[in-house]
Amino acid sequence: MSGGSYDYAYCKLEMLAGSIREEGGCGAEYSRPALRRALKAHIYKLANAMRAVEWNDSCDGDDTEIAKLEELLGPGAELVEALAQAKRDRDELNAAIDRAEKAVPL
């Protein structure tokens, strides 16, 4: 399959980042230009990573996906998520064991 698995969402992110003003509109006193520039940079990084994900999910191929995701998410993000999933799996297994023990006392 070719094309945008996610309706070319990365392009929409790029457009969003490009349209963010440094100074806020009506509530300019509530915005800080440096934070807005940082947000724009982050959204551009997100768009870049999403492009790789979308191309791979569309079978168009992008061998930079892992590097782009690691750059976006930072070091250790994969391990943090793996540990969180392991804890969810452990909790689910413990709950199943408790239900089984109550249903069939040993």
Same domain, 45 and 94: no
Determine the pLDDT at residue 2. 55
- The model carries a pTM of 0.77
Write down the pLDDT at residue 26: 72
18 and 66 share one domain: yes
Question: 3 and 32: one domain?
Answer: yes
Give the mean pLDDT per block of 10 residues along the chain (106 residues): 78 95 75 91 96 92 94 94 97 96 83
Q: Residues 6 or more apart from 44 whose CB is under 8 A from it? A: 13, 14, 17
pLDDT at residue 19, as a whole number: 93
Count of structural domains, the chain: 2
Q: What are phi and psi of 70, to 5 degrees?
A: -65, -40
Q: Are residues 58 and 85 in the same domain?
A: no
